[in-house]
Copies of this chain bind each other. A is one copy, B any other.
């Protein structure tokens, strides 16, 4: 049910079409939340049916049209309610750590490749999030600046701070995952005796 709230979060900035939201997901929430078109369009229809959004047909070119959604009062209430209610933490399901626990079954090279992929994955995320923080700090995030434009000045500090806080936390987590995988690479070498003889010194 978080897709619904992620969509609400984005639509609190300004009315958007399904296509806009799809792009916004990639540009602004990517790596915190992902959703394909095939999920976004039907969900928007459902949200409209539930009264959280109102969709209006907007002409686009001579024959084309698009549907722009804006949040209703009920939608804002639903979003605030979600923000105020505690999250239910679901059980861990972590394939990378599951595999790590049984790494003795893998070929050493496959085990190394696994951990290198882990590093590559989180390094990529890290770079993206560093860029997000830079955008927050330099005022070059289109979505954030629009959001600030519609919010009272008294809230600007909070809005900016919470976004920054989120991304900085994700960067730290990515760095932790990278360090963990790097320790794993060392461990694989140790267990497979790549070092000729441990120096007794």
B92 near A32 (CB under 8 angstroms)?
yes
B9 near A94 (CB under 8 angstroms)?
no
Identify which of B32, B87, B162 contacts A103 (C-beta below 8 A): B162
B187 near A32 (CB under 8 angstroms)?
no
Counting contact residues on chain A (CB < 8 A from B), the size range is 35 or more
A84 near B104 (CB under 8 angstroms)?
no
How many subunits of this chain does the assembly comprise? 2
B6 near A100 (CB under 8 angstroms)?
no
For residue A105, CB closer than 8 A to chain B, the reply is yes
Instruction: Identify which of A33, A84, A121, A166 gathers the most chain B CB atoms within 10 Å of its CB.
Output: A166
A83 near B99 (CB under 8 angstroms)?
yes
For residue A157, CB closer than 8 A to chain B, the reply is yes
- How far, in angstroms, from A33 to B93 measured CA to CA in the complex? 5
For residue A58, CB closer than 8 A to chain B, the reply is no
For residue A159, CB closer than 8 A to chain B, the reply is yes
Q: How far is the CB of A181 from chain B (nearest CB, A)?
A: 9
For residue A72, CB closer than 8 A to chain B, the reply is no
- How far, in angstroms, from A92 to B87 measured CA to CA in the complex? 17
A94 near B32 (CB under 8 angstroms)?
yes
B87 near A106 (CB under 8 angstroms)?
no
Q: In the assembled complex, which residues on chain B have CB atoms less than 8 Å from the CB atom of A184?
A: 165, 169
Identify which of B6, B34, B114, B155 contacts A87 (C-beta below 8 A): B114
For residue A191, CB closer than 8 A to chain B, the reply is yes
The 3 closest A-B pairs by CB, nearest first: A34-B91, A84-B110, A83-B106
